[in-house]
Amino acid sequence: MAQISKIFNLHVLICRNYKGDVDMAEIDHFMPLLMQHEEEGLICPVMSHGSVHFMWIKHSNLYLVATTNKNSNASLVYSFLYKLVEVFTEYFKELEEESIQDNFVVVYELLDELMDFGFPQTTDSKILQEYITQEGAKLEVAKTKVPTTVTNAVSWRSEGIKYKKNEVFIDVIESINVLVNANGSVMSSDIVGSIKLKTMLSGMPELRLGLNDRVLFALTGRDKGKTVVMEDVKFHQCVRLSRFESDRTISFIPPDGESELMSYRINTHVKPLIWIESVIEKFSHSRVEIMVKAKGQFKKQSVANNVEVRVPVPSDADSPKFKTSTGNAKYVPEKNLVVWTIKSFPGGKEFLMRAHFGLPSVENDEMEGKPPITVKFEIPYFTVSGIQVRYMKIIEKSGYQALPWVRYITQSGDYQLRTNV
């Protein structure tokens, strides 16, 4: 990777040339090239001008662009660009033109630490914050002593961490993506999961996490009970990949505080947890009536919290009236939606919402299309896939006892149900 630039409109805000093999003026071709592609409807994440390739992402009102004249690893480049966004957001809270202009010195400091001669280096914001601060006076003092984490094999964790009470909180969070067609058939579904940690442990502990992983059970000759097949598994850099590949053991020295240990995908047929039936009737070009029935298709002992059913309505609808068997419904005219909110939705229950709107005209019906109904929810103490944390072993040379706490959460991801009308 040769150069990283942040661009707003037609102005280059920050430019860092790491290898010197790409002319700094090449970045001037990026914006005209992007506008040309937009006009042609051919926007592409990688664009070329002569022998120079531009790889870019957009965040808020900024473009972050990497330029190279070699056949670089595109996955690495994009991972780095998104990491830049993450680090800058940690530092400046909001990443936009003003925050870059107000923090030029810190941004250049960060760019120098994040990458060296085109190779990513220290990308953990917690470690960077130990020696790159936003106060100029502190910056000079901090520079005299570089934290050992930068030179350690364990660059993501500082030495000498102490807690009075040693604990680990494990969150297993699964998002369900479901697309149901107008006939009620599930067109596509999958589960995207992540395991997040909040670690409050003294010293340099070694942790081992055991899951009901089907591949592990097969390797060890056990195939009893419910197991899961995880695909597209991605780990935090702290996990020993060689160990996982050889015997599926998830072994690591954790970062202090909050972190995402791993993410995974489970490609399976998912029964929609909240089923929606809708009837939309239009009368004599003057009014529209909407009836929506929501049914919880999950275990009776579970409860979905903060459920939102978003029902699209015609853009010229007015004079809304609602009747609900539970929860509250409100009209959001700027989004052409009725949002039905249910704070607590027990499994196996059915609820009804009726809406009545005045309708001055029905001329634009065909032009507007038929947006789907979308649903948001969160179900604690429950996972659709059945994934389980079987054990968490915590080993530290001082021999202290530590408590692991596990919490399971299922939530909606891209959850859509198409309608006939």
**How many other CB atoms sit within 10 Å of the CB of residue 164?**
6
CATH number of 3-129: 3.30.450.60
CA dist 356 → 99, 125, 418 (Å): 46, 51, 20
337, 312 contact by CB (below 8 A): yes
Look at residue 94 and tell me whether its pLDDT is greater than 60. Answer: yes
| Helices 74-92, 104-114: inter-axial angle, 10-degree rounding | 140
* pLDDT value for 224: 60
Selection from 71-75, 192-196, 223-227, 357-361 with the highest mean pLDDT? 192-196
Q: Within 13 Å and on the Cβ side, how many CA atoms surround 387?
A: 29
Distance CA 238, CA 157 (A): 9
Token look-up 């649903």 returns 375
Arithmetic mean of pLDDT, 71-98: 87
Arithmetic mean of pLDDT, 260-267: 94
Record the tokens describing residue 177, joined without a space: 């993506």
* pLDDT value for 143: 44
* pLDDT value for 5: 54
Look at residue 138 and tell me whether its pLDDT is greater than 50. Answer: no
Distance CA 280, CA 268 (A): 32
pLDDT in tens, 404-416: 999 999 999 999 9
- Average pLDDT over the chain, rounded to whole? 85
* pLDDT value for 379: 96
* pLDDT value for 377: 97
* pLDDT value for 108: 85
Q: Per-domain residue ranges for the chain?
A: 3-129, 167-270+384-417, 274-362+369-380
Look at residue 144 and tell me whether its pLDDT is greater than 50. Answer: no
Distance of CA 98 to the CA centre of its chain: 25
Q: Classify each residue of 275-313 as buried b or exposed e, where b means 16 or more C-beta atoms within 10 Å of its C-beta.
A: bbebebebeeeebbebebebbbebeeebbbeebebbbbb
Asked whether this chain's domains 167-270+384-417 and 274-362+369-380 adopt the same fold, the reply is: yes
pLDDT in tens, 279-295: 888 776 678 889 999 99
Instruction: Identify the H or E element spanning 173.
Output: strand 167-180
Look at residue 7 and tell me whether its pLDDT is greater than 70. Answer: no
Q: How confident is the model at residue 361 (pLDDT cuts 50, 70, 90)?
A: low
* pLDDT value for 258: 92
Arithmetic mean of pLDDT, 259-266: 94
CATH number of 274-362+369-380: 2.60.40.1170
Look at residue 367 and tell me whether its pLDDT is greater than 80. Answer: no
CATH number of 167-270+384-417: 2.60.40.1170
* pLDDT value for 141: 37
Long-range CB contacts (within 8 A, 24+) of 228-234: 228/266, 228/385, 228/386, 228/387, 229/266, 230/193, 230/264, 230/265, 230/266, 230/387, 231/264, 231/265, 231/266, 231/267, 232/263, 232/264, 232/265, 233/262, 233/263, 233/264, 234/262, 234/263, 234/264
Distance CA 184, CA 417 (A): 8
Arithmetic mean of pLDDT, 373-401: 92
Arithmetic mean of pLDDT, 129-140: 56
The answer to which of 88-97, 145-154, 209-218 has the lowest mean pLDDT is 145-154
Arithmetic mean of pLDDT, 7-27: 78
* pLDDT value for 298: 93
Residue with the larger pLDDT of the pair 4 and 209: 209
Q: Where are the beta strands (DSSP E) in 212-336?
A: 231-235, 250-252, 257-266, 274-283, 287-296, 303-312, 318-324, 328-332
* pLDDT value for 16: 85
What percent of the chain has a predicted confidence (pLDDT) above 90?
42
